[in-house]
C-alpha cells in the first residue's frame, strides 16, 4: 500500500507542478495585460501555445541540441520530486536540501549546451548572461540554505516544514534575515524583471530561446513553468511554513503575485548591475544571518 501511494505521488507531484506552473504562466500574462490597461489573453493561452508548438516542425541543429533540452527538462522534473508539495514528497528521504541545491545545476547546463550548438550570437550572449546571473544569485542562496540547515539541524526539507508547523514560520524566527535575502533574490531566480536580461526579447531576441521552434520551444516553456513552480515552492516551504495542498497553493499564489508586481514595475538591469546588486545587499544580509544562526545555536 505504501509503495502504491509512493508511486502515485511520484506520478502526481510532477503533474501538479506542471499544471500550477503553466497556470502561473497564463496568470502572468493576464495580470501583466491588466496592469498595462489591456484586456489580455485567456488564462489558458500558454496551453494553446503549447498545442500549437507541438504541431509545428521545429528545427534541430544536431544531437546536442536535442540532448541538452532533454537534460534540462529531466533535471527540472527530478527536482520537483524532492520538493514537498503540500504534504506530498515522494523522495523526501533521499537528500533534501543538499540534492535540491545540486540538482538545480542541470536546467542551466542543459539549456546552455543545447543552445550552444545553435551557433547564434544571441544565444552566446544569453547563455553568458544566464550563467553569470546564476553564479551571482547562487552565492546568497547557498548562504540562506546553509543557515536554514544549521538552524534546524537537518538537511531534510520535510523536517524543516514540520518544525515550522510546530512553532512558527521561519520568516518570523531568527531566520528573518535569510527570508528577506531570499525574497530579494527571488526575481533573479525566477528570471523576471529586473533580472530578465538572459532572455530579453527586445534586446537579444529572447537569448537562449532564439533557435528554438516547435517542440523545442514547447520543452523550453515547460521547463520555464517548472522552474517557476520550484523556486516559489521552495520559498513557501522554507519560509512560509508549507501547509496542506490548498493552503500551500494559496501561499504560492501570493508570492507569485508579488513577483508579477515586481516584474511590472521595474526596468531591466544590465548584467553587471545585477551581479553587483546580488553580491552586495542579499549576500551581506544572508551572511549576517548565517553568523547570527551560528552564534545563537
Partner 1 sequence: MLIQSILIIAFGGAFLTYILGKASSALRDFLAVLISVSLTVLIFLAYGKTGEIAFASFMNLPLVLRINHLSWFFAIAIQTVTTLSVIFSLSYMKGKERVDFYYLMMLLCNSAMLGIVLSGDFVSFYIFWEIMSWSAFLLISYNRGGALYAGMKYIVMSIIGSMCMLIGIMSLYSTYGTLNIREIHDLISTASGEYLLFISILFLAAFGVKSALWPIHVWLPPAHSEAPSPFSAVLSSILIKMGIYGFVLILYVISGAALYLGLGGGSFRYILTLLAAITIIIPTFNALMQDDAKRLLAWSSIAQIGYIILGISIGTSLGLIGGLFHFFNHVAFKALLFLAVGAIEYRTGTRDLNSLGGLIKKMPVTFIAVLAGTFGLIGIPLTNGFVSKWLIYKTLILNNHPFLAFAALVGTWGTILYSYKLIHNIFLGQLPENLEHTKPAPASMKLPFIILSVVIVLFGILPGIPLKLINLITASLGFDLLNINIWGIASESGPLNIINIFAAFAVALIVVWFFFLISGKKVVISQDNSYAAGIDVPKGKYHYTVDFYNPMFRMIKPYFRDYMDEFYSQLVKALASLSDRVRRLYCGDLGVYVIYIVLFLSILVISKIGLNLW
Partner 2 sequence: MDRNQIKKWLESPGKMGHKYSLWAVYFCTGCGIIEIPPVITSRWDAERFGVLPAPSPRQANLFLITGYVSVKTLKAIIKTYEQMPEPKYTVGFGSCPINGGMYWDSYNTIKHLDKYIPIDGWIAGCMPRPEAIFIAVTHLWTLIDKGMAKGYVKYRENYGRYRENQEKALGKLEWPRLFPIKDENE
214 touches partner 2 (CB under 8 A): yes
Partner from partner 2, partner 1, none contacting 168, C-beta within 5 to 8 A by type? none
Residue 13 binding result from partner 1, partner 2, none, given CB thresholds of 5 to 8 Å by partner type: none
**Contact yes or no for 82/96 (Cβ under 8 A):** yes
Q: Which of residues 102-131 bind partner 2 (CB under 8 A)?
A: 122
CB atoms near residue 207 (< 10 Å): 25
Note whether 210 binds partner 2 by CB under 8 A. Answer: yes
Give Cβ neighbours of residue 194 (< 8 Å, ≥ 6 apart): 187, 262, 266, 267, 268, 269, 274
Among partner 1, partner 2, none, residue 150 binds (CB under 5-8 Å by kind): partner 1
Shortest Å distance, C-beta 289 to partner 2: 39
- Is residue 198 a contact partner of residue 210, using CB atoms and an 8 Å limit? no
**Which of partner 1, partner 2, none does residue 260 bind (CB under 5 to 8 Å by kind)?**
none
**Which three three-digit cell numbers place residue 89?**
514528497
Choose the one of partner 1, partner 2, none that binds residue 41, judging by a C-beta under 5 to 8 angstroms depending on kind: partner 2
Closest approach, Cβ 65 to partner 2, in A, equals: 12
Residue 121, binding choice from partner 1, partner 2, none, Cβ under 5 to 8 Å by partner class: partner 1
Nine-digit cell string for 267 = 526596468
Is the CB of residue 130 less than 8 Å from the CB of residue 112? yes
CB-CB contact of 43 with 27 (8 Å): yes
Residue 88, strand partner residues:
85
* Contacting residues for 124 by C-beta, under 8 A, at least 6 apart: 116
Number of shown-chain residues binding partner 2 (CB under 8 A): 33
Span interacting with partner 2, options 68-76, 168-176, 206-214, 270-278, rule CB under 8 A:
206-214
Q: How far is the CB of 63 from partner 2 (least distance, A)?
A: 19
Q: How far is CA 79 from CA 45, 75, 102, 232, in A?
A: 26, 6, 9, 13
CB nearer partner 2, residue 28 or residue 137 = 28
Q: Which three cell numbers stand for residue 71?
A: 537534460
Q: How far apart, in Å, are the Cα atoms of 251 and each of 26, 181, 226, 238, 254?
A: 18, 18, 17, 12, 5
Q: 24 to 83, contacts with partner 2 by CB under 8 A?
A: 29, 33, 36-42, 45, 48-49, 51-59
- Nearer CB in complex with partner 2: 116/213: 213
Phi then psi for 85, rounded to 5 degrees?
-115, 90
The partner in contact with residue 48, picked from partner 1, partner 2, none with C-beta cut-offs of 5 to 8 angstroms by kind, is: partner 2
Interacting residue ranges for partner 2, rule: CB under 8 A: 29, 33, 36-42, 45, 48-49, 51-59, 122, 201-202, 205-206, 209-214, 217
Amino acid at each position: 500500500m505504501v509503495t502504491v501511494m509512493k508511486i502515485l505521488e511520484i506520478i502526481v507531484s510532477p503533474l501538479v507542478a506542471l499544471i500550477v506552473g503553466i497556470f502561473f504562466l497564463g496568470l502572468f500574462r493576464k495580470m501583466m495585460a491588466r496592469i498595462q490597461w489591456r484586456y489580455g489573453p485567456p488564462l489558458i493561452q500558454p496551453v494553446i501555445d503549447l498545442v500549437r508548438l507541438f504541431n509545428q516542425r521545429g528545427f534541430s541543429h544536431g544531437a546536442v541540441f536535442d540532448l541538452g533540452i532533454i537534460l534540462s527538462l529531466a533535471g527540472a522534473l527530478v527536482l520537483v520530486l524532492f520538493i514537498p508539495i503540500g504534504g506530498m514528497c515522494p523522495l523526501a528521504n533521499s537528500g533534501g536540501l543538499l540534492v535540491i541545491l545540486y540538482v538545480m545545476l542541470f536546467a542551466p547546463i542543459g539549456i546552455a549546451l543545447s543552445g550552444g550548438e545553435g551557433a547564434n550570437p544571441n544565444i552566446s550572449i544569453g547563455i553568458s548572461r544566464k550563467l553569470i546571473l546564476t553564479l551571482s544569485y547562487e552565492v546568497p542562496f547557498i548562504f540562506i540554505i546553509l543557515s536554514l540547515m544549521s538552524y534546524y539541524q537537518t538537511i531534510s526539507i520535510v523536517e524543516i516544514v514540520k518544525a515550522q508547523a510546530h512553532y512558527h514560520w521561519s520568516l518570523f524566527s531568527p531566520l528573518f534575515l535569510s527570508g528577506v535575502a531570499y525574497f530579494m533574490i527571488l526575481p533573479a531566480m525566477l528570471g523576471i524583471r529586473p533580472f530578465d536580461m538572459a532572455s530579453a526579447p527586445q534586446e537579444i531576441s529572447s537569448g537562449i530561446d532564439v533557435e528554438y521552434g516547435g517542440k523545442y520551444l514547447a520543452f523550453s516553456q515547460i521547463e520555464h513553468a517548472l522552474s517557476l513552480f520550484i523556486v516559489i515552492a521552495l520559498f513557501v516551504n522554507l519560509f512560509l511554513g508549507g501547509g496542506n495542498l490548498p493552503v500551500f497553493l494559496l501561499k504560492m499564489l501570493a508570492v507569485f503575485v508579488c513577483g508579477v508586481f515586481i516584474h511590472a514595475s521595474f526596468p531591466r538591469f544590465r548584467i553587471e548591475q545585477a551581479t553587483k546588486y546580488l553580491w552586495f545587499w542579499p549576500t551581506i544580509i544572508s551572511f549576517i544571518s548565517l553568523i547570527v544562526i551560528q552564534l545563537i545555536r
